[in-house]
Amino acid sequence: MAAFPRAARIAAAALLTTTLLPATASAATPVDVPRVEGPLPGAPPGDPASPEIAETYPWLATDADLRALGYVEQEFHLSGDADAYSATGELLASDVPYRTRVIVRRPASQAAFNGTVLMEWQNVTAGYDLDALWSAEQLTRAGYAWVGVSAQRVGVNQLRQWSLARYGTLDVTGGGRFTTDQLSYDVFSQAAQAIRASARPALLGRLRADTVLAVGASQSAGRLTVYYDSVLPHLESVFDGYGQIVGPAPTRAGAEPVFQVLSETDVRSPARPPDTERFRRWEVAGSAHSGWHGYSARAPLLARDLGSAPAYTCDRPPFSRVPLHHVLAAAYDHLTRWARRGVAPPVAPPLEFGPDGAKARDELGLALGGIRLSQVAAPTALNTGDNSGETFCVLFGTHVPFGQEQLDELYPTHGHYVAAVVRADAHNLKAGYLLPGDARQNLAGTRP
């Protein structure tokens, strides 16, 4: 569908507002439906440097056995004209040409689809697109469709260098005119609009989506915060809810629900915004901003696509094993119900702070308060959100296994340990912080 000039879109929106809505309502700029090309050919193994696109494959294509899980992975190009916005919501330019890509992992059939799309603003902190919130076991088990959007210059430029044949025509800067991601907000919106308006070819194939949630981790949560607070008041709403993961959350009270989930690493002050009818915040003890689950999943993909996986020198053993992704799986289910039926998620206790302003800890060094998964409530290691060393180490947390003598003091028999895990998981299941599938995974992990 061709994009209409912005002036015509605003005039149409104003007419609709005048004729159909109360006089006090304000017009929002409609979001264009982008042109969709794809799915692009090519799958691993392949050669990103090949001049033939069919001999290449998508950047960080998953190594999960999607066929066995009843899923497919497909990549598309999106193009159109996007409006540029400043971080304060000022319209800087209209109808700037762009071209980017989205990567889709979805159920192969409508029967396996739960109706919800998790649209991730891909994180570019490392200098390349990172699908930080793709978690194969949890998302495929629940039937979510996951869509990763390349909205920012750094990620798109790296894609172009990585595979010229596959990504050489991509550009989200308006030919170099906008180099601080001023187009990113409308580009991200148009990706959702492609699903909303059933653009052809369809990003979801024959699937019909009921709910589209915007999700982003860390730096991407920051971009979504700017989007929600400053840009969304001027733009048509195309998302049903927002998941702000291990990063900031909006301060504006909007119509769409906002769910913020933070690791221990991310909670730095006892001062917090209150939960409201449209905002919920969860804090997870012992978890890290970027823990073991994400690192272990990405390392082989980065080794394949970059030639080597990153290595780090931290002051303490890195990568907390507390499974933040278990809490995220529960949070996505809650956010879906919140967006569809207005059923707000349960509240959760905050992490505790001591009189000195530091996080309060027990005699084992584990953080007090917050959501306490069985890996913290029935610990076999010191897992924290803290570390130091190289630049990224502060994000990884710490994992120091307990010695046998300490384990024997905590759990006189193996049965005592299993019972402690079951009690913790039963509490979290009842509270709504954990899903049954992940509780079963925790129980399986107690086997000697």
Cβ contact 239:143 at 8 Å: no
CB 383 within 8 A of CB 265: no
Q: Which residues pair with 117 in a beta bridge?
A: 145, 212
Average model confidence (pLDDT) for the chain? 94
**Predicted pLDDT at 22:** 33
**What's the mean pLDDT in 21-34?**
68
Query: Coil, helix or strand for 99?
Result: strand
- pLDDT higher than threshold 60 for residue 1: no
Strands 258-263 and 241-245 turn out to be parallel
Residue 82: beta bridge partners? 96
Residue 5 has pLDDT above 90, yes or no: no
Residue of 12 and 275 predicted with greater confidence: 275
- Phi then psi for residue 108, to 5 deg, are -75, -20
144 touches 62 (CB < 8 A)? no
Domains, the chain: 27-313+321-357 (3.40.50)
DSSP H helical ranges for 171-218: 184-196
- 198: confidence class by pLDDT, cuts 50, 70, 90: confident
Kindly report the pTM of this predicted structure. Answer: 0.93
**Based on the number of CB atoms within 10 Å of its own CB, is 149 exposed (0-12), middle (13-18) or buried (19 or more)?**
buried
Reported as a single tens digit per residue, the pLDDT across 49-70 is 999 999 999 999 999 999 999 9
| pLDDT tens profile 115-129 | 999 999 999 999 999
- Tens of pLDDT along 144-196? 999 999 999 999 999 999 999 999 999 999 999 999 999 999 999 999 999 99
Span 305-324, mean pLDDT?
A: 94
